[in-house]
Structure 1
Amino acid sequence: MSLFTSKRKPAHSDVITITDVAERIPNLIKKLPHVAHGLILANDSRPNKPTGFGVEFEKATRSNPYGIALYYKDTQFTYTQFNEWANRIAHYFLSQGIKKGDVITLFIENRPELLVCSLACAKVGAIAALVNCSQTGKGLTHSINLVKPKMIIVGDELTGPLKDVRSTLELSDDQFFWLADADTRKPNPQIKAPAGYQNLADKLTSQPRFNPPSSYEVFHQDGLFYIYTSGTTGLPKAVVFKHGRWMKGYGTFGHIMNLNKDDIMYVTLPFYHATAMVVCWSAVIAGASGLAIRRKFSAREFWSDVRRYNASAIGYVGELCRYLMDSPMDSADRKHRVTKMVGNGLRASIWHDFKKRFGVEEVFELYGSSEGNVGFSNIFNFENTVGFSPVPYAIVRYDQEKNEPILNKKGFMIKVKTGESGLLIGKITKSSPFDGYTDPEKNKATILENVFTKGDRYFNTGDLIRDLGFRHAQFVDRLGDTYRWKGENVSTTEVENCISDFPAISEAVAYGVEIPGTNGRAGMAAITPTPDSNIDYTELLTFFKGSMPAYAVPIFIRVQAQMETTGTFKYQKNNLKKEGFDPSQTSDPLLVWLPGTTCYTPITAEVFEGIQIGQYRF
């Protein structure tokens, strides 16, 4: 694809031309030294050069030793304090025989202990398995056993879910470590670990504070994180995230934001996801800036926290922005110093209004997946785009009815035209490799071969993307059996498996449907009750809440006497998605879990109309 498309503005008002880009160059030039340095780091793939998260954090510490690295509640940590804390943990890991490539599972909510343990793992070359804090039951067991950890560190706030599955974990009793839900930098004789756990804080007293030599024995291809993503095959998949990949994010997203020692970024996103852990934190480290975190997002407290920490930047996902826009207008909406934000999923419908209302000048929208090899970043600060990508990719025509790419007469895929939408695929090359999952079979399922020529290989992102021209794109939707709700990818297979465990249901099909005014797609399930059953829908909702994370619980239910299938016995989801939860489209009973209620209730014409006009805040 040529970078130099037509200079004449196409009919689509949001299509980007070389002229549009040229107009943004002067602003980019101001950041050029920092950006250029970042790009050098991002593209340095020398196999034996010490690199990665630990090395760069130590550089930031030398650059700003007494600057505040982390704010949490009323606690502050300088770069030196935080780095020395991580060093003590790293030295303890080494004393226990932890070596490069070993896995340590972290099951801790958003607090300093999660971040410092992640950094400690990076310093010894261990891989931190960042388990989703919403995981319970079978999903939690699977996520932990899948990566075969040498130890697990759990925060006191999550001992309940872990206790429920402990007997199913492939770990011995001496591999369970615990951290109190308190300041754990120093041992506290008044705080005792629960039975069956070792208190990690007690192990650090005699550990040295200097940087371990192992930081400089970590290289480009060494593993850094396992980040879990919901796929189309049910239970979570563990994605290998290497130090070299972290350096790409650090060098691009991190340096493009151009933060400095006076900047503070406020982040309430979960740090078991790459947006917070990699994108937001790496941008902070790149500027030796401050990071302010909160345990869980609160729309009511968001801007007061921003003012409390004097933040100048924020991390976001689209749903967070919608909640902030839905909050009542306030005279203090612009009484802060936030001018930059980084994240993904900001809806075109609120993009401009969000910037105007809250005084944000630059939106560093990005696109990428934990497992993928293609990424976009809004370096030119256009509106309604995931930005620009320098890596080789293509957007190809896709038949959504058949769920497959459209091929030409020679059997090759067809690129879409500027302004059109299609499937995004990333070319697998030496400079843009596909690191993949822990399961080789799942890797095969995501690799497309002989796409445009014999022998070429591409990663299938599973995302519908619109080509805006000049290597810019706009996210449209997820394809296949995964949808996104509340900032989380939801596996329909996993939801269907949970639903089928309910005794009165014989079959279930899960899919995502759009609710006007919300981000992503809300969960909907078509169910077939067992013969002669009488489902209690209050009991059903209670069961769902106990069986799956809150974001995966279906908002809508459709009750069918029999499921429609294809000739090969696959469920026909396209018609279900098309009819959605509109009672005028089907005679099947439809139910909804309305906000603030404790059971599913029937969808009448009046309820449907209320949902359409935004009467209910999902």
Structure 2
Amino acid sequence: MAPPLALLAAALPLLSYLDAKHQLTYDYAMISSMLYARIRCTLLERRGRLCPFYCIEEHALSPADCGRLFLIYQGREYSYKEGYELALKYAAWLRERCNVQRNEIIAIDFMNKPAMIWILLGLWALGAKPALINYNLEGDRLVHCVKISTARLMLIDAEVKKVLEGAEGEETRRKLETAGTSLEIIIFDEATERVVETWKGFRPGDEERDGVKLPDMALLIYTSGTTGMPKGAIVSFLKLLYAGCFVSAWVGLKKSDKFYTCMPLYHTAATILGLVTTMTVGSTLVLGHKFSTKTFWPEVRSSQATVIQYVGETCRYLLAAPPSPDDKDNNVKIAFGNGLRPDVWVRFKERFGIPTIAEFYASTEGTSGSWNLQKGEWGVGAVGRNGSILSLLLGGGVKIARMDAENTELFRDGNGFCIQCDYDEAGEVLWKLDPNDIGTSYQGYFQNPKASGEKVIRDVFQKGDAYFRTGDLQKRTRDGLWYFMDRIGDSYRWKSENVSASEVSDVFGLHPAIVEASVYGVALPNHDGRCGCAAIVISPPTSDDEVLQELSKWVTKLPRFARPIFVRVVKAPGGLEKTGNYKLIKGRLRDEGVDLEKVGIVGDVLWWLKNDEYVPFGKRDWEGIVGGKVKL
């Protein structure tokens, strides 16, 4: 009989094959992280310790952890003990000066800075609910966000106070102070900060935070409002803590790690996946004031950050910066975030020497997500990854449903049910809900039952079931990879074919002289469907003519029907319009189409594909299309 070691040695090749085929090791790590997060959330609920305030308190009162770094901001360091003491001062000031009470919603309009974190922790200590306002908002959009929050107190960073100054700002302030509740506005300047830091702090009693359940609201975070006014997404304690606990376990975050983010704290990425994630472990948050290619890497290097956070197009902008001999001079082991496009992925890893990309897909109001911890070459560009075991365990919780020919509505069969997509077929991602208790996992939008209800679809694959509509198109492969394709509405139909705007954007983004590219469909007179248009930003000192000559050959990488007929060269100093979280906005581009009067008024230039060559698009060409003399 062969000895055990010999049997094990003989079995190793088979075990390695099975692991590679079914991703057993990867699934084990994912399932372990999910179980850890779920168990910890359940225990915290039972112990009455769901409030994130308890996270910093635990480390601050621990002799082993109290001296550990909690926060680094522009070279200033705060230990967990110092951060905790400041949180208590802010809690005392908020109660004694502002009369903040439990369950009250307080609006915060701040740039990234330590004071915003102390305010968050102070409000949570009092059992209050922060409403995080996008600091880019002004006018009616700002008034709308504060009004729907029902806040009677608004704290505004002195850096943001310009939205209340001048004729328009004064009108905004008047609307804020007279919109529904009687709103008190406090400008939080350096003098106010000094007052608060000298306030006598106190620890609010546990009764301020007792009785909280996982589905209860922890804070309000607003949608970007690209298709209308922003909506206040309810972030529950379940989402807040589960995300923080899961991410810390999934990426292997340790107390010795330093997590760098310059993403805005008013959004999920920095607050939940940055601040809360680091607090659950006791690691260090390195906070940047605002994203800038000039300060990003210097702050990462000076802080010796081991994890960096990205969102949307930030990695593309970092790549577009001039190369430096210091590019690989960093301690970063993981880049974590969402929205890293395939055309940027490998180049970003190679240039900055980052071994691991932790890409995920989720939404602030959503009920689930997908995750891809990518190393080496396999899995590049995927927003999710499942092995055989994970697919079996979670397969019923997430579905990709077939869309109609226009990719605008879910397709239903003769029995009225949706059809699950085959492998490599794009469709809408749906997340399963408990049809009898939807509120446990999906809280929706604050005081907006109509918008909340529109995200829920029933009788989907069988009578009585319910799913959350993500509004996004994805496809999955046989080997367990999930790929983001488009937002519904971003894909378009041309020449009886569906075109993925994201796939076309990726091809344009690979061109070395193109810094940004956004692809969308535009309606044309006398033509069916929507014609492709690519808005691009050209990197100086490359001339428009140089790119014009190269693009005709470059787009042959695409099927003929997917090659954009039009190219719009954007001349605005800031490039393409983006949300505050660095996601591209297409609405205005799509509405302006290729009407020369609308495009020219902002100084942009149009080209079109004529006889397989991109050439300038002029007034006579537009008149030919309008008059029906030109058929594309």
Q: TM-score range by the shorter chain?
A: 0.7 to 0.9
Counterpart CA distance in 2 for 1:201 and 1:522 is 49
| 1:298-349 superposed Cα distances (whole Å, 9 cap, x missing partner) | 1133212111111111000131111112222222111111011211011112
Secondary structure, counterpart of 1:70 in structure 2: strand
Amino acid at match of 1:59: E
Structure 1 contact 523–554 (Cα < 8 Å) conserved: no
Structure 2 contact 256–283 (Cα < 8 Å) conserved: yes
- What residue is the counterpart of 2:444 in the other structure? 436
| 1:150-206 superposed Cα distances (whole Å, 9 cap, x missing partner) | 3111100111113411100137777222222x5xxxxxxxx3xxxxxxx46535644
- What residue is the counterpart of 2:432 in the other structure? 427
1:208 pairs with 201, 205, 215, which one? 201
Deviation at 1:604, TM superposition (A): 4.2
Amino acid at match of 2:401: V
- What residue is the counterpart of 2:309 in the other structure? 315
- What residue is the counterpart of 2:52 in the other structure? 53
Counterpart CA distance in 2 for 1:592 and 1:278 is 39
Counterpart CA distance in 1 for 2:343 and 2:268 is 25
Larger radius of gyration: 2
- What residue is the counterpart of 2:73 in the other structure? 72
- What residue is the counterpart of 1:459 in the other structure? 468
Secondary structure, counterpart of 1:38 in structure 2: helix
| 1:422-462 superposed Cα distances (whole Å, 9 cap, x missing partner) | 10111112596211002001111111010011111111110
Q: 1:512 to 1:203 in 2, by over 3 A?
A: farther
Deviation at 1:207, TM superposition (A): 3.0
Q: 1:302 to 1:177 in 2, by over 3 A?
A: same
Structure 2 contact 152–182 (Cα < 8 Å) conserved: no
Amino acid at match of 1:437: Y
Counterpart CA distance in 1 for 2:475 and 2:407 is 19
Deviation at 1:465, TM superposition (A): 1.0
1:155 pairs with 154, 157, 162, which one? 157
Deviation at 1:244, TM superposition (A): 1.5
| 1:123-170 superposed Cα distances (whole Å, 9 cap, x missing partner) | 222111111111111111100111110311110011111341110013
Q: Are 1:265 and 2:259 counterparts?
A: yes
Q: Are 1:447 and 2:441 counterparts?
A: no
Secondary structure, counterpart of 1:58 in structure 2: helix
Structure 2 contact 425–476 (Cα < 8 Å) conserved: yes
- What residue is the counterpart of 1:343 in the other structure? 337
Q: 1:375 to 1:23 in 2, by over 3 A?
A: closer
Secondary structure, counterpart of 2:313 in structure 1: helix
Greater RCO between the two (CA within 8 Å, min separation 6)? 1
What is the aligned-residue identity percentage?
A: 25
- What residue is the counterpart of 1:244 in the other structure? 238
Q: Are 1:83 and 2:84 counterparts?
A: yes
Q: Which sits farther off after the overlay, 296-305 or 131-140?
A: 296-305
Gaps of 5+ in 2: 1-16, 387-393, 493-501, 510-514, 526-571, 617-632
Amino acid at match of 2:441: P
Deviation at 1:592, TM superposition (A): 5.0
| 1:470-506 superposed Cα distances (whole Å, 9 cap, x missing partner) | 66421111113899xxxxxxxxxxxxxxxxxxxxxxx
**Structure holding more helix per residue:** 2
- What residue is the counterpart of 1:358 in the other structure? 352
Secondary structure, counterpart of 2:122 in structure 1: helix
Q: 1:454 to 1:557 in 2, by over 3 A?
A: closer
Alignment: residue pair count = 511
Structure 2 contact 312–581 (Cα < 8 Å) conserved: no
5 Å-filtered alignment, 1:183-332, equals 191=191, 199=192, 201-203=194-196, 205-210=198-203, 212-213=205-206, 214-216=208-210, 218-230=212-224, 234-332=228-326
Deviation at 1:387, TM superposition (A): 2.1
Counterpart CA distance in 2 for 1:356 and 1:47 is 46
Q: Are 1:406 and 2:411 counterparts?
A: yes
| 1:43-76 superposed Cα distances (whole Å, 9 cap, x missing partner) | 6585774313222232233452111111111211
Counterpart CA distance in 2 for 1:610 and 1:125 is 62
1:114 pairs with 113, 116, 122, which one? 116
Coordinate RMSD, CA, aligned: 4.0
Counterpart CA distance in 1 for 2:470 and 2:382 is 17
Q: 1:433 to 1:522 in 2, by over 3 A?
A: same
Counterpart CA distance in 1 for 2:52 and 2:365 is 18
Secondary structure, counterpart of 1:603 in structure 2: strand
Counterpart CA distance in 1 for 2:181 and 2:27 is 56
Structure 2 contact 372–385 (Cα < 8 Å) conserved: yes
- What residue is the counterpart of 1:369 in the other structure? 363
Q: Are 1:168 and 2:153 counterparts?
A: no
Deviation at 1:512, TM superposition (A): 14
Counterpart CA distance in 1 for 2:153 and 2:241 is 26
Amino acid at match of 2:299: D
Q: Which sits farther off after the overlay, 397-406 or 17-26?
A: 17-26
Gaps of 5+ in 1: 1-16, 183-190, 192-198, 484-510, 529-540, 559-572, 582-587, 612-618
Secondary structure, counterpart of 1:394 in structure 2: strand
Amino acid at match of 2:427: G
Structure 2 contact 293–318 (Cα < 8 Å) conserved: yes
Structure 2 contact 424–477 (Cα < 8 Å) conserved: yes
Counterpart CA distance in 2 for 1:112 and 1:101 is 23
Deviation at 1:519, TM superposition (A): 6.8
Secondary structure, counterpart of 1:378 in structure 2: strand
Q: 1:361 to 1:22 in 2, by over 3 A?
A: farther
- What residue is the counterpart of 1:531 in the other structure? none
Structure 1 contact 84–210 (Cα < 8 Å) conserved: no
- What residue is the counterpart of 1:584 in the other structure? none
Counterpart CA distance in 1 for 2:516 and 2:276 is 26
Q: 1:402 to 1:145 in 2, by over 3 A?
A: same
Structure 1 contact 373–433 (Cα < 8 Å) conserved: yes
Amino acid at match of 2:425: E
Counterpart CA distance in 1 for 2:484 and 2:283 is 30
TM-score, length basis structure 2: 0.71
Q: 1:52 to 1:79 in 2, by over 3 A?
A: same
Structure 1 contact 21–380 (Cα < 8 Å) conserved: no
Structure 1 contact 108–133 (Cα < 8 Å) conserved: yes
| 1:233-282 superposed Cα distances (whole Å, 9 cap, x missing partner) | 61110000011211110121122122222211111111111011111223
Q: Are 1:384 and 2:381 counterparts?
A: yes
Amino acid at match of 1:375: G
Amino acid at match of 1:85: L
Structure 2 contact 475–482 (Cα < 8 Å) conserved: yes
Deviation at 1:357, TM superposition (A): 2.0
Structure 1 contact 106–152 (Cα < 8 Å) conserved: yes
Q: 1:126 to 1:521 in 2, by over 3 A?
A: farther
